[in-house]
Amino acid sequence: MTLASLHHPATRDTGQTDPRPPTTAPEPAEPVAAFVARQAPRLFALVDDSADYRILVWGLAHHDHVNLVSPDGNLCGTFASVDRAHATYALVATSIEIVWCAPGRHE
């Protein structure tokens, strides 16, 4: 299996979904920014940490699926969950780590 074979546009993973609640409309008094922040997907990376750190893919974890894209933008894929994406990439790389990103925080 190769990294390219993981990203066929006609393939969709059907594993478990993210347990977060589905998106809902904002409450009448709720500021739009708070509504958007509550619905925003979470950003993460799948990192190969076997030697030098290498980002394999960037991911957006939505409430019911995960979108992945390679750093160069040439490969993309959709999975049912972060765990399913991680398990699939673990087949082609020996040491994969999920790294969650917090917007605006850099160390």
If one counts every other C-beta atom within 10 angstroms of the C-beta of residue 54, the result is 13
Tens-digit pLDDT profile for residues 23-79 = 666 666 678 888 888 889 999 999 998 878 899 999 999 999 999 999 999 999 999
Res 35: pLDDT: 85
**What would the two tokens of residue 67 be?**
């979108």
- How many other CB atoms sit within 10 Å of the CB of residue 51? 8
pLDDT given at position 74? 96
Residues contacting 22, CB < 8 A, separation 6+: 63, 64
For residue 101, the SS3 value is coil
Q: What is the mean pLDDT of residues 80-93?
A: 94
Whole-number Å distance between alpha carbons of 38 and 26:
10
Element (H, E) at 81: none
